[in-house]
Amino acid sequence: MPYSIQIEALRKHYPGAENVALQGLSLNFRKGIIAGLLGPNGAGKTTTISIICGLVHQDSGSARVLGLDCRHDIVAIKSKIGVVPQQIALYPQLSAQENLEYVGRLYRIPSRILKDKIAFMLERFGLDSHSHKRIHQYSGGMKRRTNIIAGLLHEPEILILDEPTAGVDVQSRNMILDFLQHYNEEGKTIIYTSHLLEEAERICHEVAIIDSGRLIAQDTPQQLIANAADCRNLEDVFLHYTGRTVRE
């Protein structure tokens, strides 16, 4: 079966950190799906994404994207993935237009195509009338939406988003989820993290629940709900597997 992501026995302990971030994490995501990487605070979601996109190196184990090794083939991987980080990665003193032009040039998108692409995406995300405002004047939801556009201007085969709907209102969230579903229908793979389990249940074909750097369960939301006793939805399943203790 073709996989987008293959993670095998991944271990990571940040120097000086109290807890081990990943303790032998193994999981695979198929190509062409919307996959949810779920887990409580500190579970290791961002660390996993950082290893996949070459920002952090694991201590041991392997991570592969479309069969390419994340330690050794990162240049080839970078042209195939788009990453939307948990923290807003935009220049606050530049406008959305300027930020996106900058990102597009980094990806060497020809300027004519880039101009049309930015205009299309700003309109798609309801930002066209604000495109020349500086980012620091944007609301949280507008920053999130711009952050997402920055991660996918080059139309990656695999889009990885770390909490793309954190702190946004219902309207923005629906716009983002609607976009992700359309992007997936174009044949792209989406891997995303969220703490909103209702949202993950709605859009994910498959979810992996991780906790303390290990895989706890992975399946379709429907199958996970059916397999765990007395669980009516994904939030029940999540609590069933991860418990009620508040994390870091």
Q: Residue numbers of the site for Mg ion (CB under 5 A)?
A: 45-46, 86
* Angle (deg, nearest 10), helices 140-152 and 170-185: 10
* Shortest CB 210 distance to Mg ion, Å: 11
The verdict on 41 binding ligand ATP (CB under 6 A) reads yes
Element (H, E) at 120: helix 111-124
Interface with ligand ATP (CB under 6 A), residue from 36, 44, 54, 156: 44
**Residue 191: CB minimum distance to ligand ATP, A:** 13
Confirm or reject binding of residue 130 to ligand ATP (CB under 6 A): no
Q: How far apart are CA 201 and CA 49, in angstroms?
A: 21
Q: Using the rule CB under 6 A, which residue among 1, 2, 17, 75 binds ligand ATP?
A: 17
Min dist. Cβ of residue 79 to ligand ATP (A): 25
Provide the minimum distance between the beta carbon of 86 and ligand ATP in the complex, in angstroms, as a whole number: 6
Shortest separation between residue 212's beta carbon and ligand ATP, angstroms? 9
- Nearest distance in Å: CB 172, ligand ATP: 20
Kindly give, in sequence order, each residue whose CB lies less than 8 Å from that of residue 209, ignoring residues fewer than 6 positions away: 38, 39, 215, 216, 217, 218, 224, 237, 238, 241, 242
Distance of alpha carbon 191 from alpha carbon 188, whole angstroms? 10
DSSP secondary structure string, 58-79?
-SEEEEEETTEETTT-HHHHHT
Check binding of 14 to ligand ATP (CB under 6 A): yes
Number of residues that bind ligand ATP (CB under 6 A): 14
6's contact among Mg ion, ligand ATP, none, with CB below 5 to 8 A by partner kind, is: none
Residue 95 is given by DSSP the state B
Q: Which of 9, 19, 139, 243 binds ligand ATP (CB under 6 A)?
A: 19
195 by DSSP, 3-state: which?
Answer: coil
* Residue in this structure with the two tokens 């390419």, named with its chain if needed: 68
C-alpha span between 105 and 155 (Å, rounded): 14
Q: Is 61 in the site for ligand ATP (CB under 6 A)?
A: no
17 binds, among Mg ion, ligand ATP, none (CB under 5 to 8 A by kind): ligand ATP
Whose Cβ is closer to ligand ATP: residue 25's or residue 121's?
A: 25
Among 38, 45, 54, 154, binds ligand ATP (CB under 6 A): 45
- Indicate the length of the chain as a whole number: 248
Quick one: what does residue 43 bind among Mg ion, ligand ATP, none, with the CB cut-off 5 to 8 Å set by partner type? ligand ATP
Which two tokens mark 3?
Answer: 């996989």
Name the burial class of residue 157, with classes exposed (0-12), middle (13-18) and buried (19+) by CB atoms within 10 angstroms of its CB. middle
Query: Taking CB under 6 A as the rule, does residue 39 contact ligand ATP?
Result: yes
Question: Which tokens belong to 78?
Answer: 């970078």
In order, the DSSP letters of 200-242 are: HHHH-SEEEEEETTEEEEEE-HHHHHHHSTT--SHHHHHHHHH
Which chain residues interact with ligand ATP by CB under 6 A?
Answer: 14, 17, 19, 21, 39, 41-47, 86, 248
